[in-house]
């Protein structure tokens, strides 16, 4: 116990938003020190990790066959345990490498990790084990929508309904929070990455053009939208490979991409409606007044707020920075051990 406290003094506690698309690390007292894609490149002959994070993302679609670019998380949960552990180890080491004590002592931080609210017991164990084996001395898990609500500055500890819609890469989570607890949560495995995939499939089916994930993501950000607007008229020339395998390009319009994304968006809208239907009436009244708060990178799809406003007849707002809300929320929890104990999932 005493030794643990001494070690704690030398270790900067950290919060990790372990996302399907991006991992963010918040260091207590310092803020978000790392934000990198959750991607790892592995040499398949030796099993050795070659690159992690941003370095690895640059390799997508450009590697020789002996290098595999892996996303160790799928749908918000660990799909490849060993690679996730390597990635966590690398990120934890990276944020600690600038701190002088770490040259003398191996840091053993307390770690809080944001996970999807629908996580199973087995998946929880996998996340905790990965963090422990990456050097954590104590691990707490908190539900991503709870962390996002904290990060967005919602009054989660007071009696009153707060609705947060967190659209990430792999999961969309809708939660109603009151008195530091999740009154209800809906978690669906449909979010930003499904939008990207829908664009890849659309280009293949309607334009006979094969495009990579990075091009599809760019189209989503520059042309995609969730509601009719001026963007419908915007055009873009997309390079790719035709079905014969030859390089080619096609001009596409915003309106087409809006239609290509429709099924994915409708699934998210349906999940929000379902959550609203399940919300106890007393809390519904608060949500009518306070509105719905949007977080997560997927919510940045153009006009997502307008679409949800139209579909629910409720006010819908973005939190200050949707991409960092979960990490900021975990950061706030790091300052308050009582709050951590109250909201942690274990």
Least distance from ligand ATP to the Cβ atom of residue 84, Å:
12
Q: 218: annotated binding-site residue? A: yes
Q: Is 72 in the site for ligand ATP (CB under 6 A)?
A: no
- Whichever of 194 and 286 has its CB closer to ligand ATP, that residue is 194
Q: 298: annotated binding-site residue? A: yes
Q: 262: annotated binding-site residue? A: no
56/77 Cα distance (integer angstroms) = 20
Query: Which window, 17-25, 87-95, 233-241, 307-315, contacts ligand ATP (CB under 6 A)?
Result: 17-25
Beta-ladder partners of 292: 163, 316
Beta-ladder partners of 115: 143
Q: Is 298 in the site for ligand ATP (CB under 6 A)?
A: yes
- Whichever of 260 and 323 has its CB closer to ligand ATP, that residue is 323
Question: Which residues, including other chains, have CB under 8 Å from residue 52's CB and lie 6 or more apart?
Answer: 36, 39, 40, 41, 86, 87, 90, 91
Among 53, 72, 145, 297, binds ligand ATP (CB under 6 A): 297
* Contact of 167 with 192, CB cutoff 8 Å: yes
CA distances from 218 to 191, 229, 236, 292, 299 (A): 16, 19, 10, 27, 15
- Whichever of 144 and 256 has its CB closer to ligand ATP, that residue is 144
**Of the candidates 22, 39, 55, which has an alpha carbon nearest to the alpha carbon of residue 300?**
22
Among 141, 293, 301, 330, binds ligand ATP (CB under 6 A): 301
294/308 Cα distance (integer angstroms) = 10
Residues near ligand ATP (CB under 6 A) are 17, 19-22, 76, 144, 168-171, 191-193, 196, 217, 220-221, 296-298, 300-301, 323
Which residue ranges are tagged as binding site for ATP?
A: 20-22, 169-171, 217-220, 297-300
């Amino acid at each position: 116990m005493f030794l643990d406290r001494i070690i704690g003094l030398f270790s900067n506690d950290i919060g990790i938003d372990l996302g399907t698309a991006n991992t963010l690390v918040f260091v207590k007292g310092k803020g978000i020190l790392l934000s990198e894609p959750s991607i790892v490149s592995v040499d398949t002959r030796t099993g050795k990790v070659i690159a992690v994070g941003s370095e690895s993302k640059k390799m997508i679609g450009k590697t020789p066959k002996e290098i595999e670019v892996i996303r160790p998380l799928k749908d918000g949960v660990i799909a490849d345990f060993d690679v996730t552990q390597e990635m966590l180890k690398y990120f934890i080491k990276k944020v600690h490498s600038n701190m002088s004590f770490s040259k003398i002592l191996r840091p053993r931080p307390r770690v809080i990790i944001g996970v999807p609210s629908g996580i199973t017991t087995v998946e929880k164990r996998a996340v905790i084990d990965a963090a422990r084996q990456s050097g954590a001395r104590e691990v707490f898990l908190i539900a991503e929508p709870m962390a996002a609500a904290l990060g967005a500055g919602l009054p989660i500890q007071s009696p009153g309904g707060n609705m947060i819609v967190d659209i990430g890469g792999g999961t969309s989570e809708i939660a109603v929070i009151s008195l530091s607890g999740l009154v209800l949560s809906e978690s669906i495995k449909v979010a930003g990455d499904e939008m990207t995939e829908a664009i890849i499939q659309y280009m293949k089916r309607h334009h006979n053009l094969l495009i990579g994930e990075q091009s599809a993501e760019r189209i989503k950000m520059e042309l995609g939208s969730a509601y009719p607007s001026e963007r419908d008229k915007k055009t873009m020339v997309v390079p790719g490979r035709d079905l014969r395998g030859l390089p080619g390009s096609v001009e596409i319009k915003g309106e087409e991409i809006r239609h290509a994304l429709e099924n994915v968006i409708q699934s998210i809208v349906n999940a929000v409606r379902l959550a609203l239907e399940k919300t106890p009436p007393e809390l519904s009244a608060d949500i009518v007044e306070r509105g719905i708060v949007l977080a997560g990178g997927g919510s940045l799809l153009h006009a997502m707020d307008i679409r949800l406003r139209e579909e629910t007849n409720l006010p819908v707002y973005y939190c200050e920075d949707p991409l960092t809300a979960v990490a900021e929320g975990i950061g706030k929890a790091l300052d308050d051990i009582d709050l951590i104990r109250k909201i942690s999932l274990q």
